[in-house]
Amino acid sequence: MEKILPLWEEEQEVPTPLLHAPASSSIKRVPWGKCLLISPWNYPLQLSLSPLLTALLTGNQVTLRPSEHAPKTAEFLKKMCLECFPEVEVITGGDYTTTQALLEKEWDFIFFTGSTRVGKLVMKAASENLTPVLLELGGKSPCVIWKNDPFKAKTIAQRLLWGKFFNAGQTCVAPDYLIVEKNYWNFLAPALQATLKEFFPENLPLKENMASIASLSHFERLEKMLPHSSHTLLVEGLRKKEELMFGPTLILVSDVKNSPLFKEEIFGPILPIVLVEEKKEIYELISEHPNPLASYLF
Active site residues: 136, 172
Contact 259, 233 (CB under 8 A): no
Residue 274: phi and psi, rounded to 5, are: -120, 130
Beta strand 245-246 with 249-253 is unpaired
Q: Give the burial string for 12-51 (b: 16+ CB within 10 Å, else e).
A: eeeeeeeeeeeeeeeeeeeebebbbbbbbbbbbeebbebb
Angle made by CA atoms 274, 116, 52, in degrees to the nearest 5: 125
Rounded CA gap, 218 and 227, in Å? 16
What is the CB-side half-sphere exposure of residue 109 using CA atoms within 13 A?
A: 17
CA angle 62, 4, 47 (to 5 degrees): 40
Strands 249-253, 270-276: pairing is parallel
> CA-CA distance, 117 to 120, in Å (whole number)?
6
Instruction: Name the residue type at position 281.
Output: E
Whole-number Å distance between alpha carbons of 220 and 224: 6
Which residues have C-beta within 8 Å of that of residue 146, sequence separation ≥ 6? 179, 181, 184, 279, 282, 297, 298
